[in-house]
Amino acid sequence: MFNRREHRLAAYQERQCLLVSYTLPGLPYCYVLCSEQELKYQTPAGQELWRFFLAEAQRLAHEDVGDPNSFMLIHSGSSAGARRSFHLHVFVLRHRWQKAWLYGVLAVKNLTQMVGAAVGLKRAR
């Protein structure tokens, strides 16, 4: 992760959320939209946050590349991710090769974490 920056925008602060931007090689527009509170998706507050995050993904894609539909989402729930709270990864992509590249980067990252956990270097989740 390169050029990691935290953004505390008013719309996020109102919802106790945080926007993190970063870059990866070949992927200049990467974001994590994080809730700082533990919410269940089934609650009205959880559903409203999901709608807000989706609208934000569209806004970010439009600002970055001029197309509000040019993004890929990875949702990490509390049981599948490193954070206990709701968060959504947003990757703004302009080209098909970027999508393939992203899948490769994620595969290497997750494989490395699994091997590390298997040899006792890191705790698996």
Average pLDDT on 97-121 reads 91
Q: What percentage of the chain exceeds 70 in pLDDT?
A: 88
pLDDT digits (tens, 9 = 90+) for 49-105: 999 999 999 999 999 999 999 999 998 766 665 666 788 999 999 999 999 999 999
**1 has pLDDT over 80:** no
Residue 87: the pLDDT is 87
Mean pLDDT of the chain: 89
Residue 116: the pLDDT is 87
Neighbours of 68 (CB within 10 A): 14
Residue 124: the pLDDT is 56
31 touches 19 (CB < 8 A): yes
CA distance 49 to 64: 22
Which domains does the chain possess? 2-95 (3.30.428.10)
pTM, whole model, 2 decimals? 0.86
Place of tokens 């298997």: 118
| pLDDT-derived band at 125, boundaries 50, 70, 90 | low
CA distance 15 to 75: 18
Closest-CA residue to 19 (of 106, 90, 103, 84): 90
